[in-house]
Amino acid sequence: MIVAGLMSGTSVDGVDISLVEITGKGHRLQTRLLGHKGYPYSPSLRQRILQAAEGGSVGEVCHLHALLGEVFASAIIKTARTCRVPLKKIALIGSHGQTVYHRPRPIKEAGVGMVRSTFQIGDPNIIAERTGVTTVSDFRSRDMAAGGEGAPLAPYGHAIVFNRRKVNRLVLNLGGIANVTVLPGNGEWSHIRAFDTGPCNMLLDGLMNIESQGRRRMDREGRQAAKGSVNEKLLGWLLAHPYLSQRPPKSTGREMFGSSYIHRVLKQGCRQKLSFVDILATSCRFIAQVIGDAQQWIPQPIQEVVAGGGGVRNKRLMAELEDRFAPVSLKTMEACGSHSTAFEAQAFAILAYQRIQGVCANLPSVTGARHPVILGTISPGKIK
């Protein structure tokens, strides 16, 4: 079947749509990317989402839930038209939605015990109504109900697409948050490990946004970072964050590394009288070092590294990662027959397909859930 995957990540820069042809049963799937399009949020919408995620009113979150449902539906319709795939041929939509809060660490509540919570907005009922296509959403909640972190979920897609016999691969997702997936060459799914390492584009984009007073969303190709030098004192301060020493399974997001954290990083750099480009360069080294240090929790020797996500376009960050992993080769997803910026949306197309097939896709070895579960809630499309 043809499935549309929809992803809007922690960078809150827009929505990505991937159209994917999927065949197969169980964990033996074949996928083919038919098309991919990205739609940036307007500056005002992005700001509203960020404000809602960091302390918005219930009323504003409620309204944004419906508004993003309309935005997502429109993006899917445009993608189908642009990629020349008739909407009626799309059997299913998998919508991750836009995370506004993710609290994987359990909190003890009187009378019910430990409670984990997560919330993604972008009403799937509106998507299903506008497109007429059955929509699967809310992928994280069932895993959390089973005692898991509810994240990361893309590793299931990594295992489907990038698993390679007799080669231990490390797949990097360089999104708003960076995460790693270990795909062991023995093919054992129970040996797959994955976790969020810490901030990535969220930090770099946030620094650029503050410095430019909102005029620039990102450091394109890492050009500004390339002009700077790494400051060891600031690097040491960054590496002292307690999340980094926490053992997996673990996941994080804007709650820990959002606006407040980014302002602290900038303030710390200014205290040390660093130029802005030095702060950016040091942040790139920090991200790469944290990703490299993740190998302390990986039992297998890594033989190949595959990188995807928006961060692959940052040449300074990729150079830091190459140095960190040398002599192990670092490839992009393109070099492996995939697409760096399309992959996360593709992963949610795969998860939606497995929801309809009734296949568990949460990888307890990754999320820490007590047992495998079927992910996602179904909003039916047009009755034919």
Residue 176 near residue 10 (C-beta atoms within 8 A):
yes
pLDDT, position 9 = 86
**Whole-number CA gyration radius for the chain:** 20
Q: Does the structure show a pLDDT above 70 at 384?
A: no
pLDDT digits (tens, 9 = 90+) for 91-105: 999 999 999 999 988
Which residues 6+ apart lie within 8 Å of 171 measured at CB? 155, 158, 162, 180, 181, 183, 305, 306, 307, 308
Residues 183-196, mean pLDDT to the nearest whole number = 93
pLDDT digits (tens, 9 = 90+) for 239-262: 999 999 999 999 999 889 999 999
Integer Cα distance of 116 and 106 in angstroms: 5
Do domains 2-150+342-379 and 156-336 share one topology? The answer is yes
Q: Does the structure show a pLDDT above 90 at 350?
A: yes
> What proportion of the chain, given as a percentage, has pLDDT over 90?
92
Which contiguous run of DSSP H or E holds residue 16? strand 14-25
| Burial class, 334, CB count within 10 angstroms (exposed 0-12 / middle 13-18 / buried 19+) | middle
pLDDT grade, residue 215 (50/70/90)?
A: confident
Residue 342 near residue 4 (C-beta atoms within 8 A):
no
pLDDT grade, residue 7 (50/70/90)?
A: very high
Q: Does the structure show a pLDDT above 70 at 225?
A: yes
Q: Within the chain, what is the greatest distance between any pair of CA atoms?
A: 65
Residue 102 near residue 150 (C-beta atoms within 8 A):
yes
Strands 304-308 and 169-174 come out as parallel
pLDDT grade, residue 56 (50/70/90)?
A: confident
pLDDT, position 11 = 84
Residue 155 near residue 181 (C-beta atoms within 8 A):
yes
User: Which class is 2-150+342-379 in CATH?
Assistant: alpha beta
Tokens 């360089």 identify what position?
174
pTM: 0.93
pLDDT, position 10 = 83
| Burial class, 345, CB count within 10 angstroms (exposed 0-12 / middle 13-18 / buried 19+) | buried
Residue type, 247: R
Handedness of CA 375, 377, 381, 384 (dihedral sign): positive
104 phi/psi in degrees, rounded to 5 = -80, -25
CATH 3.30.420.40 fits 156-336, yes or no: yes
Q: Does the structure show a pLDDT above 70 at 51?
A: yes
Q: Does the structure show a pLDDT above 80 at 185?
A: yes
Domain segments of the chain as ranges: 2-150+342-379, 156-336
Which residues 6+ apart lie within 8 Å of 201 measured at CB? 11, 174, 175, 176, 218, 309, 310, 311, 314
pLDDT, position 252 = 93
Q: Does the structure show a pLDDT above 90 at 217?
A: no
Which residues 6+ apart lie within 8 Å of 105 measured at CB? 116
